[in-house]
Each structure stands twice: as C-alpha cells, then as structure tokens.
Structure 1
Amino acid sequence: MDDYGEFQPHIRLAKDLMDPRRYDSRVRPVMNHSKPTTVSFSMSLYQILSINEKQQNVDLNVWAIQKWNDDFLGWNPYLYGMINTTILLDAIWLPDTYLYNSVVMNREETERYINVVVTTNYWKGEKGAEVKFMYPALYRTSCLLDIRFFPYDQQACKLTISSWTSSKSDINYEPEYESVNMDNFLPNEEWVVVSFKLF
C-alpha cells in the first residue's frame, strides 16, 4: 500500500523527467550546444511603489514571465495518463536572468520564485517541452531623474534585463509582446505611465 503513489502517472512523470541519468540542471538544455536558447520575456506592471528623486531610483511591483524550450524534458502523454503539463519547482535549468541596473543585487530580496510550468511538445511533433517560468518581483532600479520641470516633468526609465554569465550566442532574449501588460495596474497618485515597451 505504501508504494501505491509510485504508480501514479504524475509521480512517475516527475521522477522520470528528473532522473539524473537523463537530466542535469547545471547544463543548458539543448541537444546542439552551438544553438542558443531563446528566452521569451514578458512583464506585467502592477504598481509604481515609489520614485525617489534624491537617490535616483524607482521601485516597481511587477510579474515576470520567461519561456523557453527545454530539449531534455519532453514526454509521451500516452505513457503518463495523458498528462500534457506538469509543474516542476526548482529542479530544472533556469536562465540566470538579472536586472542589470537593479539597486539590490540579491535576487532573494527582489524576486519570489513560485513555479515552473512544463508542457510537452509531443503534440507538436517535436522533442522536448516548453517551460513557462512565472514569478512576482519588487524591483528597485536606478534611473536618471530630471526634475527641472516639476511637477510637470516626464521621466524615461529603463530596465536592462539579460543573462549575468551567458552571451547572446548561448541565451538570446526576445520580448514576447511589444508592451508591458498594464491590465491590472494600480494607478499612482503622482505619476501617469505614458508607455512601457519591451525591446
């Protein structure tokens, strides 16, 4: 009776995907190592928490989503109770994506990793799986603020996001959408967001 869980398809799937004989989270998950991993990046802005003119920084509450293809995580749903999607928490390869102009360099203080959704590419007739990595973040980013025309000033702040250790030939970032999602944005009393683009 104790081993009953071993036969559950979702448990078998997780064990088989994470078998150290077939998967190593330290290795970028591509069959052809000369081919870059394309990471699709999108973001939702929930709140401008504060803008500090003196310290030249901006505090933002955002939700980030990264997507990429993992060549080593595919499976045949027919062998696992027709499961097409599963959640793997922290056992897989993740891109070392950093906000370069963050005032706080410790990711544990800025990003709260929640889950990774993995969907097999079996039905596309392809190997591997699509990985969707979603997490909320509180970013404090440096921004040159010009307040000469206060209180009618306009400010342009950039968030520079890329891999900390890998070049573009290894990890290639692309925006999933042209603009940051503002559907759930809580308006700020002092500031109006004119536009927030991804490029």
Structure 2
Amino acid sequence: MNWKDTRLKWIPENYENVSVVHLGPDKVWKPDIMVYNSLQHFDYEMTDVGLVSSGLIWWVPPVNLHTSCELDWTYWPWDYQKCRLLVGSWTKTGWELDITTISGANISNVDRDNFVPGAWDIVSGIQQRIEITAYKDNFVELQVDFVLQRRSFLDKKVAVLPLLVSCCLILSAFWIHPSSTARLRLNLAAVGVLVITLLAHRSFLPSAGGQMPMIVAMTTGLVVLAVVQLAVILSLANLVSRTDSPSMRFLAPLQMISPFLCLGNLPLIGQVPASIVPPWSRGADDTENLQPDLPKLQGWNLIAQAVDRLMFIVYTVIVFFFLVSYIGAASANFNAKTGNN
C-alpha cells in the first residue's frame, strides 16, 4: 500500500541527491488497513517503509491471511467458487481515511502476475471501491471478488472413473442371458463399486453444510438402478425357468417389434446360436456334433429378452441424462460465476 504525507517532503539537491530513504515502521504513521472478514491476520509489521522525496510512502509488509468462503459443493470436483474479501480502515471513516486501488480506478482487475496456483487457481479477480453510509458517517472499503477453480486432478479421477465403470457393468448385464449366474455376479460387482465410491466421496466431502454434490446424487441414483436391475434379474431368471408357454397375446406384439429391439439368435444379443460351439465349452473327447444345451429363443425366453432390451434402452437414457445434466450444469455454473463479476 502507499499514501502521501506532505510533511515528509524534501528537496533531494539539498541532501546530496538522496531521493529515497528507508525508515522503521515505528517512525512514521501507518493506516490501520485490515481485512474485515479475516479469521486470522498476521502482518510482519516490523518491515521498513520506503519514503520518497515527494512525500510518497510505500509499505509492503508480508501478510499471512486466513479467511472463510461459503463453498458450493454442487459441482464438485469441477466446482468454481466465489470468494470475497472486504478491505478497509478498522477505525476511521471515509472523511478521515480514503481508500483507492493502486490504479486509482473504482473498478480494476487484481494483479495475478506473481500468483502461483496450488489446489486452487484464480480464474478472475475484481477489486472495487465501495462507499457505505451508516450512522451518519461515510465509510470506504475495497471489495475484492475472486473466482477460484479447483485444480485437483486426483479428485476428478476418483469421482468419475468408478461411475463410468459402474455404468458399463450395469448396461452390459442386460446382454447376458437371465439364466446365467454371470449376470448376477456382474450386477453385484457394480453395486460393490458404487458403495465403495460413496464411501470414498464421504471421505473427500464435508459432513455438514452446503449442498449435496451432483456426483453423489448421481452415484446414489446408480445404486438405485443397480438394485432395481437386481430385482429384474431375479424375476427374469424365474421367468425363463418356467415350463409352460406364455399366451400368444404377449408373443404376437413382440414378434412385430423384434427387429427394433434386436431380438434374435445373434451373439451377445440373447443367446448363442445352436450351430456354434464355443471353444471353451468343448472337452478333449468332444466331437463336432456335440452342442451345448442352450435355451431356445421362444416363449418366456423371448419375453425375457424383450424386457432386457427395453430396460437397456431406459437405463441408457437415464445414464445419458445424468451425464449431460452434470456436464451442462457444471458449464452453466462456470458462466454464472464469471458472469456475475
């Protein structure tokens, strides 16, 4: 900070052309400038001040400042936070002590040339001179607004990668035959990954205050989808084991929409064709005419496959909606944070 004291002017030619001197901080008057919303404020006040022959005084003490900001965790870990510092005289009114920015303008950008980002990066910084009238007095303060961006690459990996893996596991389970135990194991693996992810989020995020992060809401939603899928898996497994035949009222519509739902004897869609014997299912003494005992695509198998296709479409739309809403909302949050400045 700098200020001017006309009582400390001198003519350099009268003092061997000395135009700048350094004085101890206790030798001159200093303004009581403080950060109003600081939690801890430590100034190294014993640093010298620079006095120019024109009466201009420069004092740049190192400052260790701790303040608090109201954080919005909704878009964690792609969050942008807005923090505000209020700087002004602790005891003097605007008539006694006026405050301006270094450039002298009422609104200016914060100088970030020497800023080294750590866990947070400063996206923008605006400082503004504010005049406040209270108790018939005029008070002047500087309002400094920062928009901060989280830079933790690890948080983004921990938050997103397990969700993508879980989505793939949940969606791929619909392409396994309902009677296969691999489908149940795949669903339980997805549930396990999601539960562990929720526990990991619990360790990263605060336990009180703020909004629920969208990533946590998305993880919780995927857990619900996985549990619903588990119920569907058990229901379809019982359905395909039935020995009776369903009514033609159910089969006729499925025959009409089967091309749209990809119903048929194709690999990875329903069941493996009876004419194909996978190499891992053959024994040493097997012959070419030995075929696995596979369920036919008819009756309850056809209905189960149709349910799988419909559930796959619904789940794909829901997962896509989750991802688009999360990415779109995070982008809108960035525009809102920077646009309000």
Q: TM-score w.r.t. structure 1 length?
A: 0.58
**1:115 lines up with 2:48 in the alignment:** yes
In the TM superposition, 1:77-116 aligns within 5 A as 77-90=12-25, 91-104=27-40, 107=41, 110-113=42-45, 114-116=47-49
Aligned to 2:127: 198
SS of match in other structure, 2:13: helix
Mapped partners of 1:175, 1:69: distance in 2: 14
Q: What is the RMSD computed on CA atoms of the aligned residues? A: 1.3
2:72 paired residue number: 146
Cα separation, 1, equivalents of 2:21 and 2:58: 11
Residue 116 of structure 1: how far off its partner (Å): 0.8
Letter in 2 for 1:101: N
Show the 5 A alignment for 1:1-199: 66-90=1-25, 91-104=27-40, 107=41, 110-113=42-45, 114-121=47-54, 129-177=55-103, 178-188=108-118, 190-199=119-128
**How many Å separate the matches in 2 of 1:169 and 1:145?**
35
Equivalent residue of 1:151, what SS?
coil
Q: How big is the shift at 1:154?
A: 1.2
Cα distance in 2 for partners of 1:197, 1:117 equals 27
Instruction: Give the drift of 1:94.
Output: 0.2
CA distance in 2, matches of 1:171, 1:194: 31
The aligned residue for residue 39 of structure 1 is none
**Which structure carries more helix by proportion?**
2
Counterpart Cα distance in 1 of 2:10 and 2:95: 27
Q: What letter is aligned with 2:110?
A: V
Query: What do the CA deviations read for 1:40-80 (whole angstroms, capped 9, x no partner)?
Result: xxxxxxxxxxxxxxxxxxxxxxxxxx111102111121221
Question: What one-letter code is carried by the residue in structure 2 that aligns with 1:175?
Answer: T
Letter paired with 1:102: S
Gap runs ≥5 in structure 1: 1-65, 122-128
Amino acid at match of 2:122: V
Give the number of equivalent residue pairs: 122
TM-score (norm 2): 0.35
Give the letter for the 1:117 counterpart. Answer: G
Distance 2:101 2:13 in 1: 34
Q: CA deviation at 1:146?
A: 1.1
Stretches (4+) displaced over 3 A: none
Distance in 2 (CA, whole Å) between partners of 1:136 and 1:198 is 20
Q: Give the number of the structure whose alpha-carbon radius of gyration is greater.
A: 2
Q: Which has the higher contact order (CA 8 A, sep 6+)?
A: 1
- Give 1 or 2: higher strand fraction: 1
How many angstroms does 1:159 deviate by?
Answer: 1.0
Q: Which amino acid aligns with 1:192?
A: D
What's the secondary structure of 1:196's corresponding residue?
strand
How many percent identity over aligned positions?
30
| Structure 2 runs not aligned, ≥5 long | 129-341
